[in-house]
Chains A and B, each alone.
Chain A
Amino acid sequence: MSLPPAAAEPPKAAVPTGDGKDAGAKARAAERRGGRATFRGEMVIEFLIRLCGWSSIICVAAIFYFIFQEAAPVLPKMNWGEFFGSVTWRPTSAEPRYGALALIVGNFAVAIVAMAMAVPLGLGAAVYISEFAGPRVRETMKIAIEVLAAVPSIVWGFIGLTIISPLLIKYAGAELGSNLLNGSVILALMSVPLIVSISEDALRAVPDSYREAAMALGANKWEMVRRVLFPAARNGLLAACMLGVGRAVGETMAVLLATGNVVQIPHSFVDPIKTLTATIAAEMGEATPGQPHYQVLFLIGILLLVITCAINVIADFIIKGAKAKANA
């Protein structure tokens, strides 16, 4: 349309354009308001998500803080040489001695022996379930493993006391049925379901094209597993094993029942031992809050935290190392 004659039709011309501008402006303003509302909503959601993420760090920090607070008064008075170097643990005597070496060694010994059993067993089971078993067997086994994972640790402790203990006395020549080996077997049985389910996931996550490629080269199944699946699933398998170690180091109830609780450095697999965790569980009840014994038990808690953190960090380094090597 041509421009209207200025005199005759200015209002008509002005009104529609004005309306148009107005409507446009309104729409834009509304959009801005809507935009602001969405923006505000997004801010809230983003804040909540951020909070969820940070909460883990806050929790860890809080745990460290509170345990430190309980243990703090004893820290300046600690004889560290004795704590880390002596096997004399006599917290309730008139002259209390806090030598935790045997507890630390016991804790590691039981965890290492347990892993020596659990890692091969768990990885083997995962490979079988993921690569060799038929669908029906696989489903049945997965359910069985989930049930196994759900058995409470105290029940494992009972099994150690009533079933494994007599077996060890009869066949392994143990004086006491509750000992290092008993605890290790129980811990191994407890960690296996964890190792199996995570490794199995890691193996299943390897694309089928890898299997097909390896088989097309004439590899048999075991070669395929060893040369192709293990390297491809390495990070997941490592993570599974490290979680197993974490569980073995931190487990309390079962080892309390199954290891015999004798404070000593073991010289054979059938020597009874005591772990850091079992010490806290067994002695916390009789320790008086605010007294050195109580505080030392919290110090042991700190030590356990540091150990598990160290295991995690090491696992991280191993996995990163594997990745770096892969990227080199």
Chain B
Amino acid sequence: MTPHIEFRNLSVSYGGKRALGGISLTVPRNTILGIVGPANSGKTTLLKTINRTIEFISAAKVEGEVFVDGEEVRAVESVYALRRRIGMVFPLPVGLPMSVYDNVAYAPRRMGIHNKAELDVIVEQCLRDSVLWDEVKDRLDLLGTRLSGGQQQRLTLARALSLSPEILCLDEFSIAIDPVTTMKIEEVLSRLRERMTIVLVTNLTQQARRMADHVAFINASELVEWGETGQMFSAPVKAITGRYLNGEFG
């Protein structure tokens, strides 16, 4: 079976400075891949190559290949169509300058859903999945930018889910969210695995341990090793992996 996502010898540099070197990694369908590693080691860069938002950084140079569903991402017919298949949640919350409702309904509307009842269902479901519904259900007309940081973060998640993506990329999604809500979202994500493949970049190794099927450890732009979560935590091949996962550095 074709892996859902595959990186083949992927290298990225920013203006000659190497950000990622020779990454080869596969993500099977309907699994969660946890990407862990110290700050500035290239985790976010790796995510950005999947939906090609890396191209917004003009100095970035990408070598090697990234396949989604067996198709090289730079060979796709429409990058916009590619991005609609991939939900992306960035570490900084971004409420777009429209109402909470419109934030979530934006992508479905773009895909041609204009029936109000249908949109209502999608909006509610996405907001429930991102554990934001109870806090905003009475003020869906509020401007998205007026929510608190943690709420905006969950709004970003709801927006990403509104695409019904086949791949969901989460970059430090819990950075602005309290632990209780984080746990609730983690539960939802674990269930969402039935519908989509999830790539989870996180600084919290325990979060990766709780949620991920596979864990990849990236350090200083290199993929040190990757494997099944249990094995990575209990019997990593390299000593440095064990030290990082046990919180001895990073």
- Using a CB–CB distance below 8 Å, which chain A residues touch chain B? 135, 207-220, 223, 227-228, 231-232, 326-328
Contacts and interface: CB of A to CB of B under 8 A. Distances in A.
B60 interface: no
Contact of B96 (A214, A220, A326): A214
B107 A211 contact: no
B84 A213 contact: no
A213 B156 contact: yes
B56 A326 contact: no
B98 A209 contact: no
Given A212-B53, A326-B143, A327-B146, A217 B107 contact: yes
Nearest to A224: B96
A75 B239 CA distance: 93
A218 B81 contact: yes
B94 A219 contact: no
B96 A218 contact: no
Given A218-B80, A218-B84, A327-B146, A213 B94 contact: yes
Given A211-B56, A212-B56, A327-B146, A218 B98 contact: no
**3 pairs of A and B residues whose beta carbons are closest in the complex:** A218-B84, A216-B88, A218-B83
B163 A217 contact: yes
Interface of B: 51, 53, 56, 58, 80-84, 86-88, 90, 92, 94, 96-98, 106-107, 110, 141, 143, 145-146, 156, 159-160, 163
A212 B84 CA distance: 13
A168 B177 CA distance: 64
21 contacts: A135-B58, A208-B56, A209-B92, A210-B94, A210-B97, A212-B53, A215-B83, A216-B53, A216-B86, A216-B160, A217-B83, A217-B110, A217-B160, A217-B163, A218-B82, A218-B163, A227-B106, A228-B96, A326-B143, A326-B145, A326-B146
A220 B107 CA distance: 12
Contact of B80 (A207, A211, A219): A219
B80 A220 contact: yes
Contacts of A217: 83-84, 106-107, 110, 159-160, 163
Given A210-B94, A217-B106, A218-B84, 17 more contacts: A208-B56, A212-B56, A212-B94, A213-B90, A213-B94, A216-B51, A216-B86, A216-B87, A217-B83, A217-B84, A217-B163, A220-B80, A227-B106, A228-B97, A326-B97, A326-B143, A328-B141
Contacts of B87: 216
Nearest to B55: A215
Contacts of B94: 207, 209-210, 212-213
A221 to B, nearest CB: 10
A74 to B, nearest CB: 51
Contacts of A328: 141
A205 B92 CA distance: 17
A216 B143 contact: no
B84 A231 contact: no
Contacts of A214: 96
A135 B160 CA distance: 31
A144 to B, nearest CB: 22
Nearest to B96: A228
Contacts of A212: 53, 56, 90, 94
A203 to B, nearest CB: 13
Specify which of B80, B141, B145 lies most central, judged by the most chain A CB atoms within 10 Å of its CB. Answer: B80
A154 B80 CA distance: 49
A208 B57 CA distance: 11
Nearest to A232: B97
A238 to B, nearest CB: 14
A207 B159 CA distance: 18
B56 A231 contact: no
A215 B56 contact: yes
Contacts of B96: 210, 213-214, 227-228, 232
Contacts of A228: 96-98
A232 B80 CA distance: 22
Contacts of B110: 217-219, 223
Contacts of B145: 326
Nearest to B109: A227
Given A218-B110, A219-B80, A231 B97 contact: yes
Nearest to A218: B84
